[in-house]
Structure 1
Amino acid sequence: MKNLQQGENISLSQAGITGSNLFSGISWITQSGQQVDIDVSAFLLNAEGKVSGDGDFIFYNQKEDASKSILLDTEPNNYNDVQLFSINLSKLPAYISKIVFVATIDNAVGEPKCFGGVGELCIRIFEPDAFNEKTIVYKPNQLNRETSVSLGELYLHQSTWKFRALGQGFESGLDALAQTYGVDLSCDTQPVGDRFVDQAMVENEIRINKQIGMFLPKIKNAVEQNLNESNTRMVLDRIFMEVLGYKMEEVRAEVKIQGRRADYVLSVDGKDVIVVEAKKAGMALKEEQIFQASSYGAYSGIKYVLLTNLVQFILFKVETHDIVEQELIFSIDVLDGFDSKNIKELALVSRYGMTRIGLLESYCDQVIATSPSNIGRLLLTGEILDKLKSIIKREQNIDVSQEQIQETIEFFLNI
């Protein structure tokens, strides 16, 4: 059993929790003679720390999310927990990177109460049938006038699930806490905007995750048998249609572009959206193939180019100014380290993702803005160099020049 203090974290594997099925149990004891109505809830958060839709808020009136990866049991039969979440991490949608567990006092009726009158508040994370052995325990203390508290969070860090003890209380109840995570409880329906991924996109990611898993044995077999380019395309045709959801007539092969033939052009509702350069299964992808694929995009006016050998799927965004330039957006290897981030990336270039082209464009903007070349360029601007010079003076009381700082940065950037 691993007992945590506020702010501490631990990976599930360090606690002996190695499976994808686990429980989050929450318990408490009220003072004798007191009637305290406590509700528990869970927020399924994306990388921005917000819910992506109302389906990502689990509470007494919505006990299960759309992917059926988390279920709230308000009357568990285990004698240890007052309320219990059953969690299947392997079913979580790709965009979920954190689950926050919350307890709230309902003061709608009767005399107002707070967590100062509640004892032995506790959250446990444990595997089925292993409560006493493989268990993470956190008991928040020092709560007083708070009426809601974030107990703890499961979060994904570098492909590893971890748990952090929070114990952060709020005096203004669930409303304020929910707004922190992007849920507005003051209205019956959730607002629709850029910070919400619609439910159809979530279901699209779940479907892609399932379908690509079914194709992995076929992809491994294609590499082992050293399939030629023609037979590789037969598998690729099915991936475009069965995994990414394109219609048969939207997957066009051998498309003539400026006197050359692109291997594929994918379209949606009559509009060409992606040029595909396909090589035989497992073949090493080289620089000249990237240039060839990018030139197809430049000549055709299609912004997105996908280079694949059935194992790797590499997406570039093509810009044409005086010269053809390509920005790497993502590189996926389905046989090596394929994770939830990759599923989201595949969903962006799926048929449904391309009908919501703003999602892909926004993702590209973020990737390009945080690329090593752009960050390196920003680090060498006068404004940043001057700021670093001031920080060194403040922290170490040493005067250095911008040129000295620039030389150091260029050394690390190998310029």
Structure 2
Amino acid sequence: MVKEELYITVPSVFRCPISLDLMKSPVSLCTGVTYDRSSIQQWLESGHDTCPATMQVLPSKDFIPNLTLHRLINLWIQSSTLRPGSNSARLLPGTSDVPAKLLIEKIERLCCVDSLSRVSEFVSRCEENRRFVVRSDCFVEVIAGVLTKKCVEIEALETTLGILDLILSENGVKERLNKLILKSNRESHFLSAIVFILQNGSLDSKVKSVRVLDSLAFDSESKRRISDSQDLISILLHLLQTNKSRSLNDAVTSILSTVSTTRSIKSRLIENGVVEIVSNSITEKSLKLLATLSSCSEGRSAISSNPKCVAEVVENLLKVSKTATEDAVVVLWSVCCLKKEEKVREAVVEGNGVTKVLVIMQREGEGTVKMMCRDLVKALRAVCKDWCLGSYETKTTHIRPC
């Protein structure tokens, strides 16, 4: 009886000499060595003038597609792909001779940590491996099932979340997991598992659990189900207040922004001091959360009554990405043009906010952000004695928050 291999070895000739991953677009240098296009482009653009494999100086940095190798790789992929219902279905490169079917059965039946670790090691190796397992029959369903069972040991939960975090970007995985977990009768078990990890897991597993949760919350029903979990929201707020890890705080702030779709959840966050918490360290993620909260009157009041928060938002103008800058403008527009607090406007002016808003307005094309900047300039004109802002008039018609 022939044993099924756990992995199919990728031929070395199909691997890029730089990344060691299966080549997607093989191209050859004048030295005759073939690389994946993205890898060799990065090598050459970083200033190198040699062939990475041979270290020969390149008389020319031009490369040509290796069409023959490209065809061979595609043929190999097709012959190695798992087929639905195949009894000989296997996973991909490695050394074990444990049958893949038995491995999945052990995970499904026992939530076996050893089997989960094998899968985790495999999917962490390269993108091709992740694509392979996602195409496998029942793989996503079995892995997701670990998080919906009772009394699973923490190591198995952490490993499972690590696997999901790695495969979430693959086509259709988020949708499948959302349907399996957040739109089924197993939702409460899943959220309980997330709470358990956030309370007892390692820092890395906490970050991954929040990222997975955030990725699954892509429609209104899923966001509502997550925000309805009182324990989960309380723990997220506690982590945000007590934790010092930037990566975890960013993940938590992101999920809070994602689920803050109703006035009730926004009010709950505000009542629990979230504005004061994020004001201690303004990041791009926290600017997004503040912009979300500023769409309701309670949020605008909380931001306006926190001088440090306004000052930090102004300080970060022009220092963050375009998206985060737009979030900062939304926050300032909400408290200066809707709330109309005189002290807030003064704080913006004192932080050189007028100059920064003018710069943003100048570089923005026509749109809501530019109109908000015009409104801000007009609102700040009264408290900005040293600037001649008479020419900056505005006639704006855009949707205002509730």
TM-score by length of 1: 0.30
TM-score by length of 2: 0.30
Q: Which has the higher contact order (CA 8 A, sep 6+)?
A: 1
